[in-house]
Amino acid sequence: MEIDFNGNVLSGKFKPSIERFMHIEIYKNRRNVNAVVHTHPIYSSALAIARESLPVLTE
């Protein structure tokens, strides 16, 4: 899928995520960022729902 900076779909058959605007803002504000990997892993989502922090284990 390809979208423009206004969130409009340019190509592809799937509907973009409602979080596309967050991604667009990252690209607009961080010119050194060329890709964003955004996932919702079950364990980190569970910690977020429980309002628990995720400890940093490696740098």
In the set 19, 25, 52, 59, the catalytic residue is 19
Give 19 or 52: the residue with its C-beta nearer to Zn ion.
19
Q: How far is CA 24 from CA 3, 37, 44, in A?
A: 9, 13, 23
Is the Cα dihedral 49, 52, 58, 59 positive or negative? positive
Q: Is residue 19 near Zn ion by the rule CB under 5 A? A: yes
In the block, which residue shows the tokens 């010119």? 31
**Number of residues in contact with Zn ion under rule CB under 5 A:** 1
Specify whether 59 is catalytic. no
- The catalytic residues are 19
Q: Which residues bind Zn ion (CB under 5 A)?
A: 19
